Amino acid sequence: MEKRQNVLLTCAGGAGTLLLAESLQHPYGVFLVDGNDQELVQHAHFPFQKIPFGSDPSFLSALKEVIKQWNIDCIVPGADEELIPCAKLREEGVVECVTPNRAFIETCLNKKQLMHTLHRYNISHLLPFDEKQDVRYPAIAKPVFGRGSRQVHRIDSEQQLNGYFALYNKTMEDTLLQPCIEGKEFTISVIVNNLNKLIGIVPKRVIEKRGITRIAVTERNHHIEQICSHIVDDLHPCGPFNVQLMVLGENCFIFEINPRLSTTAVLTEKAFGNEIDLYIRNINRKRPLPPPILQEGLYLFRSEAHHFFPRSAIQEPNATPDSSLAGTSTPPSVLLSSGKTYVVCGLNSWNQTTFDHRLAVLPGSWHFIGSREELTVERLRLWNPDTVFFLHWSWIVPEEIINAYECVNFHMTDLPYGRGGSPLQNLILRGHRMTKLTAHRMSPEVDAGPIYCKEDLDLSGSAEEILRRASELAATMIERILQESPIPQAQQGEVVLFERRKPEQSKMPPPASLEELYDFIRMLDAERYPLAFFSKDGFRYEFHHAQWKNTALEASVLITPSDVSP
């Protein structure tokens, strides 16, 4: 009897992953991982672990540990950042991966290189404009590197193009500018085995798209089948991929190839077969097994689902609603006007992740700002947002912006207690184990604006863990604010001011106890924060990843010469 294979799906909280996992569970052992442990998947019946995101330097080592622990035979990566690391594992013989080979992946991730490659092989002809004076309008602008629909705009004039470059700090070199093709959009699953043998082609016509495809229908097209077969024959992907193109008459114009499964793999599963299963069953087959018959005219309607759990089943530490919201419940989906525009500002990588996974998929037009330089009046005028949300922001927002737009900030204290800078560190130094995440309207006086709502926030773990937790909680609060449109209420109570900490204050004071030492290390252990340190005999010792080992405290330390900047 053949050994039952264990399959690991990453990005387990992504659209459709659980449906794919359900259809795999009988022939395979199915295991799930995700960078976010506050997703529905942790309550499903599949083994689940939280691991770092694919962009994290520790992703590969964490993935290897999971492979070893669960005896994984095959990985299905779900994010672009995970593709190259997973391809390396396959090359090293560590595990099989449901991906194309590394050369095909690298070609697809560089969109400008991909367009030239497709043109050279006479597959598709949608060459980018090389010089600004050559651009014909309307055109489509997008980053050369980057996934999904981020920073993708239709450009109708040179003035708009200049605005795009200013908005995203881009140039012609790192922007893909292509002719705008007005046709029928298709997303196509192309299933290929590791020997580059074609298993199936599943075209799906896109009817509605908001962040991801919301409505689509399977629809065979001879020209699409020809062009996808051409890709397999000439580019030798040796693994499944997704093609996005426009059909205009008898011509197909490819504008993107994702070297992985797409979110519409769920439609492929229902209309043709599970792409993961089809790939695994055909590994090393020079002649693939007879493919399923495509069911044409099958529609996908993607919607929000409602899931309910008793509090005892939820591990989330901030599950108890604030008393100021008693009698209300957070709606699991938000009914927003698709005509509204929202901007989300956040300075950390996990704020971008929260935006991508939780907010950008909501109705409406959503934009993300990740640095102080990007937050300008000129950029906001281009978008004209209804609301600007600040998930985590360390700089003063210009009054011109505060006065022109509804700006909502998420502050990590029970305002008016704790107005000011470095709230996380100030709270931990004062011995707080819980706090409130307060959503308030921004005002010229820092953290003094009226309050929309508050939620409990647990302060356990490292600063990064707390900030990630706060980012996800802020997304939930944004949904509530947009759904319920609460009237912000003036702050009440005694005002307590916090002072912003300076880098030199990360120098470790003589601790009174191990508990104080642990708190000092963990409160500074996050992206963009100066780590806890001390200097001795010409060396600087920086501490992070502190954790308890019974009654002892264990931490990692980085040692550098004192004259070297950290």
pLDDT digits (tens, 9 = 90+) for 408-457: 999 999 999 999 989 999 999 999 999 999 999 999 999 999 999 999 99
pLDDT greater at residue 26 or residue 217: 217
CA 428 to chain centre: 29
Mean pLDDT, range 350-371, rounded to an integer: 86
- Residue by residue, DSSP assigns 381-431 as HHH--SEEEEEE--SPPPHHHHHHSEEEEEESSSTTEEEES-HHHHHHHTT
CA pair distance 130, 145, nearest whole angstrom: 16
- Domain 1-97 matches domain 317-498 at the CATH topology level: yes
Class of domain 317-498 (CATH, top level): alpha beta
pLDDT digits (tens, 9 = 90+) for 198-216: 999 999 999 988 778 889 9
Query: What pLDDT score was predicted for residue 2?
Result: 56
CA pair distance 255, 124, nearest whole angstrom: 9
Mean pLDDT, range 500-508, rounded to an integer: 90
Query: What pLDDT score was predicted for residue 334?
Result: 32
CA pair distance 362, 335, nearest whole angstrom: 9
Task: Please determine, for residue 323, whether its predicted confidence score (pLDDT) is greater than 80.
Answer: no
pLDDT digits (tens, 9 = 90+) for 454-501: 999 999 999 999 999 999 999 999 999 988 888 889 999 999 999 999
Q: How confident is the model at residue 320 (pLDDT cuts 50, 70, 90)?
A: very low
Query: What pLDDT score was predicted for residue 274?
Result: 94
**Under 8 Å between Cβ of 66 and 84:** no
pLDDT digits (tens, 9 = 90+) for 9-60: 998 877 788 889 988 987 899 999 998 766 666 667 789 999 998 888 899 9
pLDDT greater at residue 528 or residue 513: 513
The domain limits of the chain are 1-97, 127-179, 317-498, 503-561
Antiparallel, parallel or unpaired: β 175-179 and 139-143: antiparallel
Query: What pLDDT score was predicted for residue 147?
Result: 67
Fold classification of 1-97 (topology level) = Rossmann fold (3.40.50)
pLDDT digits (tens, 9 = 90+) for 102-152: 999 999 999 999 999 999 999 999 999 999 999 999 999 999 987 666 788
pLDDT digits (tens, 9 = 90+) for 279-309: 999 999 999 999 999 999 999 998 766 666 6
Q: For the whole model, what pTM was predicted?
A: 0.59
Provide the b/e sequence for 487-520 (b: ≥16 CB within 10 Å): ebeebeeeeeebeebeeeebebeeeeeeeebbbb
Task: Please determine, for residue 381, whether its predicted confidence score (pLDDT) is greater than 80.
Answer: yes
Task: Please determine, for residue 338, whether its predicted confidence score (pLDDT) is greater than 90.
Answer: no
Query: What pLDDT score was predicted for residue 257?
Result: 96
Tokens of 248: 């205009």
pLDDT digits (tens, 9 = 90+) for 62-113: 999 999 999 999 999 999 999 999 999 999 999 999 999 999 999 999 999 9
Span of 168-172, 342-346, 422-426 with lowest mean pLDDT: 168-172
Tokens of 455: 């939620």
CA pair distance 17, 531, nearest whole angstrom: 37
pLDDT greater at residue 349 or residue 60: 60
Antiparallel, parallel or unpaired: β 29-34 and 48-50: parallel
Mean pLDDT, range 352-371, rounded to an integer: 86
From 47, 94, 98, select the one nearest 70 (Cα to Cα): 47
Fold classification of 503-561 (topology level) = Methionyl-tRNA Fmet Formyltransferase; Chain A, domain 2 (3.10.25)
From 305, 359, 306, 318, select the one nearest 37 (Cα to Cα): 318
Query: What pLDDT score was predicted for residue 76?
Result: 96
Task: Please determine, for residue 247, whether its predicted confidence score (pLDDT) is greater than 60.
Answer: yes
Q: Which secondary-structure segment (H or E) carries 438?
A: strand 434-441
The HSE-up count of residue 74 (CA atoms within 13 Å, CB side) is 21
The side-by-side arrangement of strands in the sheet containing 153-155 is: 153-155, 139-143, 175-179
Mean pLDDT of the chain: 88
CA pair distance 106, 104, nearest whole angstrom: 6
CA pair distance 150, 211, nearest whole angstrom: 8
Query: What pLDDT score was predicted for residue 563?
Result: 67
Span of 258-267, 315-324, 470-479, 483-492 with lowest mean pLDDT: 315-324
